[in-house]
């Protein structure tokens, strides 16, 4: 039996106000000045591509359609578009409907199309970001979906695990193992739900923070499951997760930022998990701010823009072109600050 997490509708007045800000997207500025026109053009062309390839039932992608759909919905909103309004309002509405249909009766999003807790975390984050902006008919359905999804996350974390894995998550909600990558998305989902008014148990937050902190590598960076093997993608995940969970001043966070700066050439260099890497490093750099943001953002932008195809898409990476395109857009739209979860 699912134990519901109550999301009082009154807390969404502030989020709902975001629907009035789409006209001021050009006025948003990052720490280095206005978003470059070439970046805006790349993002807008990418969104046009996503709108064209959306399937009739509202989904995007194939093998991991729930994750691709959640990322695409957030990509539109990261540029200031909102459900039911403007040129992409219906695309977002259809994407939200697809997300709701992906969810199983027990609250799990990962069972659709061979998905996993990756899909579950991404779908949960996406719905949390949309909740304050959907119409009054859709809002109760989204609220219920978020409540069920959060319960899956909390129950998966609570499974008895070994000392190295306690507090985290992995691909299956019933496993007793954990890794930094999957755990990052679940912590983002809990942060998004908390922003939306959900009452997240303090011990769940504390245990999640401790799990990520324990993946910090001596000398800087974060690892996958142990205490060695740091790389930019996992380090971006660790920095972002701890920052979003209210721990931006942890020594491990700053050491992670220094690791990214020392390994700047690896960010956006291609190879495995390219889009995952630029996405997380961009979000992490924004949380770190200052020169971290200036240097890392330049590296990511210079890597992403030449890769974009004439039709607005980014080439297939670790999943499919819709996933790649949505992740690229989310990496490039950080300075707009429209998605509440990524606020500092």
Which of residues 9 and 48 earns the better pLDDT score? 48
What are 230-280's pLDDT values in tens digits?
999 999 999 999 999 999 999 999 999 999 999 999 998 877 789 999 999
- Please report where in the chains the tokens 């030449």 appear, as a residue: 306
The whole-chain average pLDDT of the chain stands at 90
Q: Specify the pTM.
A: 0.91
Concatenated DSSP letters of 246-284: T-TT-HHHHHHHHHHHHTGGGTTS-STTHHHHHHHHHHH
List domains and CATH numbers for the chain: 33-342 (1.50.10.20)
What are 150-173's pLDDT values in tens digits?
999 999 999 999 999 999 999 999
Residue 36 pLDDT: 94
Angle at alpha carbon of residue 88, lines to 147 and 328, rounded to 5°: 80
| Cα–Cα distance for residue pair 322/62, rounded to 1 Å | 9
Q: How many CA atoms lie within 13 A of 127 on its CB side?
A: 36
What are 175-225's pLDDT values in tens digits?
999 999 999 999 999 999 999 989 999 999 999 999 999 999 999 999 999
Residue 7 pLDDT: 47
Angle at alpha carbon of residue 176, lines to 172 and 181, rounded to 5°: 60
- Does 30 score more than 80 pLDDT? no
For residues 244 and 187, the answer to whether their CB atoms sit within 8 Å is yes
């Amino acid at each position: 039996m699912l134990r519901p997490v109550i999301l009082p509708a009154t807390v969404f007045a502030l989020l709902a106000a975001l629907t009035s800000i789409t006209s001021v997207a050009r006025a948003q500025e990052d720490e280095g000045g206005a978003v470059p026109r070439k970046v805006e053009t790349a993002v807008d062309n990418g969104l046009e591509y996503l709108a064209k390839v959306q399937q009739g039932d509202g989904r995007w992608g194939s093998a991991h359609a729930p994750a691709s759909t959640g990322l695409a919905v957030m990509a539109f909103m990261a540029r200031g578009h909102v459900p039911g309004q403007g040129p992409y309002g219906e695309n977002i509405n259809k994407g939200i409907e697809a997300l709701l249909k992906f969810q199983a009766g027990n609250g799990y999003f990962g069972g659709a199309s061979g998905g996993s807790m990756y899909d579950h975390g991404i779908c949960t984050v996406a719905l949390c970001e949309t909740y304050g902006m959907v119409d009054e008919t859709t809002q109760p359905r989204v609220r219920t979906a978020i409540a069920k999804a959060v319960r899956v996350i909390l129950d998966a974390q609570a499974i008895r695990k070994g000392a190295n894995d306690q507090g985290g998550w992995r691909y299956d909600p019933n496993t007793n193992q954990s890794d930094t990558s999957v755990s990052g998305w679940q912590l983002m989902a809990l942060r998004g739900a908390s922003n939306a008014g959900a009452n997240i148990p303090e011990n769940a937050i504390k245990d999640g923070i401790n799990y990520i902190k324990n993946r910090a590598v001596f000398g800087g960076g974060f690892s996958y499951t142990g205490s060695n093997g740091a790389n930019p993608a996992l380090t971006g995940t660790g920095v972002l997760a701890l920052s979003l969970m209210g721990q931006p001043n942890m020594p491990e966070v700053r050491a992670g930022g220094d690791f990214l700066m020392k390994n700047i050439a690896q960010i956006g260099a291609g190879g495995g998990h390219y889009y995952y890497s630029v996405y997380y490093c961009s979000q992490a750099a924004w949380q770190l701010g200052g020169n971290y943001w200036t240097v890392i953002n330049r590296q990511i932008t210079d890597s992403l823009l030449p890769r974009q195809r004439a039709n607005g898409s980014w080439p297939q990476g670790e999943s499919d072109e819709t996933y790649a395109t949505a992740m690229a857009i989310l990496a490039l739209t950080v300075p707009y600050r429209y998605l509440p979860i990524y606020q500092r």
